[in-house]
Every structure is written in structure tokens, then in C-alpha cells.
Amino acid sequence: MTIVDVAARAGVAISTASVALNDRPGVSEATRQRIREVADELGFIPSVRGKSLSARRAFALGLVVQRDTAVLEADPFFGAFLGGVESILTGRDYALVLQMAMESADALQRYRRLASDRRVDGVFLLDIRTDDARVPLLQDLHLPAVGMNAPDGFPFPSVRQDHAAGIASLVNYLIGVGHTRIAHVTGAPGFIHTEQREAAWRESLAAAGLEPGPALPGDFTYEGGRRAADRLLGVADRPTAVICANDLTAIGLMTRVQELGLSVPDDISVAGYDGIELGSYLRPTLTTVRTAPAEIGAEAARLLLDAIDGAGVSDVDVAAAALQLRESTGPAPRLTARTPRT
């Protein structure tokens, strides 16, 4: 069923059928109606292939994910993010092309390929790094892109969620219940969001007039959390609370702390970041900061489509990340609270 069949059946030229079906001016309402009826009757649906070639558009967006499988597996971000993206694309007759890359060089190659193949009209940029090699590449390829939580000066539009607010509310809660030494387990180095979260932690403490506790290096993994726990407990003047860069790290840390005979939250409060479902299945349940991946996905898709259409685009903000208090955080231990008085 092509537009040729429709035109023939309706007794008009192909161009007339095209104009009529695309709601462009230049056809009388009567013929437009007739062509529509014929098209419906024949079950005509325009071929994306033909449209692509003619319109010089792929009608598809690209997403290259490059994450460690272990991290990916425990990451709630993707399912929800994809759902958000899809919710927008469907209505606009766009499709999503997904690529998986194992390592960074591989990922660059995927982008290059997507561009030279002309398979997609634009791409999503997740997990942005400082000096991200994808940025100059995409600029070079002239491929529209949209970033998630991009840093200042980012050359593409971006969807931002205020993580500082989430971290701040967490820090303020901890301060409110008596903690004064609050540590941080960072994410993997090189990622913008690792830096954003660490900076937010540091600034929130500074705003409250407190010295930052130790910042322990993490890598977003469970094992990284366990290692951080071992280092944390060896620190002189041990912190009474720890904010981890993500939930998985927090879970690893919490598990290890418990193995070493300490109580969470009585001896030490632990908080994660992301709001993964699993956090509510643990004992104690994990305090975390809930992000909004579905909204981020939807906004990103909207932004990218607008950018492709050449519309003027500016960054958009989604609701700030929200504190989700659960059992793994609580008042600072009395012993610690008394220390200053002695």
C-alpha cells in the first residue's frame, strides 16, 4: 500500500495525495476528504523509508549506553528514563535506536556510525564526563544532542535536575539530628554528576558552618561501597554519617559496616542517592534521594525533537531531587553528641 495506490484509487496525482494527507494547503476540502477516505479504506500508512529519504530525516533518535553491566543491572535509571523518552516519541512518530557500548572508544565509534549511517536525527548524552570526548565529536558531526545534567558551558541543550537541593536537604536533615561529621563516598572519577554531588555535599556543609568529613573515593558499585566502609572505619575521629554517591554504593557500605559489628543507623547513618526500589527491601531500609528519570527522559526527548526542528531551545529544569527518609539514617550517637561537652 503506497501513496501511488491511494492516488490512483482516488483519481488524483501523487503530489495531490501527498499534500492532502499531510494537511498542507493547496487542495480543496472535498478532494482532501476523498483522498483521506481512500487512504483509510486501503489502510495506507506512509513508509518511513520513503519519508526518510525524501525528508532527509531518520525519524529516529539515538541512545548509546556505556556502563558497566553490574552498574547497569542495579540501576533503576534506564527503565524509567526510556519510558519517559518513549512517551514523547510515540506521539511524534519517532523511534528510539539503542546501542550498547562496552568501553569509551567503542561508544565514540557508535556515535560516529549512527551519524554517518544517518540512522538518527539526534542523540541523548548520558553520564557526561569532564572533557567528554563525545562533545567535540558530535559537534564535528553536526549531530544534534541533548545532555542530562550537563555542566555550565555545555554546547548542547540540557535537562537539569537540581541535585544540590536533594543533597542539601539530606545534609540539613543530618545536621538537624545532631551530626557534625558527615562523610561522602564519591562516584567514579571523571563524571560530571560525581563532581556535582560532591560539590553539593561540600557546599551544604560549608553553608552550615561545618567542616566536610572525609571524601572517600567510590565508583558507583557495591564493592566500592564495601571498600569505602573499610577505609571509613579506620579514619581518626570517625564520621557519624555518610552520604554515598548512589544507592548501590550505600548498600555495599551499609552491608560492610554491619559485618564489622556496627549498627546502622545507631552507630552510623548511611544515605544513598537515586531512590532504587531495592533500597526499601533492605534492613534497615535505605534513606535516599529520589530522582525523576521518567520526567528527565520525557523532557530530554521533547528538547531534542525541538532542537532537530530548529526551534530555539533552552535548558529545562525538572523538579528537584527529593529526600526520601527511611531507616538507615537517624540521630547522631549520644557518645558523639557528648564529645564536645567533655
Binding site for a copy of itself (CB under 8 A): 43, 45, 47-50, 52-53, 58, 60, 69-70, 72-74, 76, 78-80, 82-83, 86, 90, 93, 95-100, 102, 116-119, 222, 251-252, 255, 258, 276-278, 281-283
User: Closest separation between CB of residue 119 and a copy of itself, Å?
Assistant: 6
**251 touches, from a copy of itself, DNA, none (C-beta below 5 to 8 Å by class):** a copy of itself
30 touching DNA, by CB under 7 A: yes
Question: Among positive and negative, which fits the CA dihedral 308, 309, 311, 317?
Answer: negative
**69 touches, from DNA, a copy of itself, none (C-beta below 5 to 8 Å by class):** a copy of itself
125 touching DNA, by CB under 7 A: no
33 touching DNA, by CB under 7 A: no
The residue from 40, 41, 55, 105 that contacts DNA (CB under 7 A) is 55
The residue from 8, 36, 42, 51 that contacts DNA (CB under 7 A) is 51
Identify the three-state secondary structure at position 177.
coil
Which CB, 175 or 228, lies closer to a copy of itself?
228
Instruction: Let me know: does 239 contact 213? Beta carbons within 8 Å.
Output: yes
Q: How far is CA 292 from CA 81, 103, 281, in A?
A: 8, 27, 20
Which residues sit opposite 94 in a β-bridge? none
Q: Which residues of 183-209 are buried (b: 16+ CB within 10 A; e: fewer)?
A: bbbbbbeebbbbbbbbebbbebbeeee
Q: What is the DSSP string of 6-46?
A: HHHHHTS-HHHHHHHHTT-SSS-HHHHHHHHHHHHHHT---
Cell reading at 84: 519517559
For DNA, the binding residues (CB under 7 A) are 2-4, 11-16, 18-19, 21-22, 24, 26-28, 30-32, 44-47, 49-51, 53-56
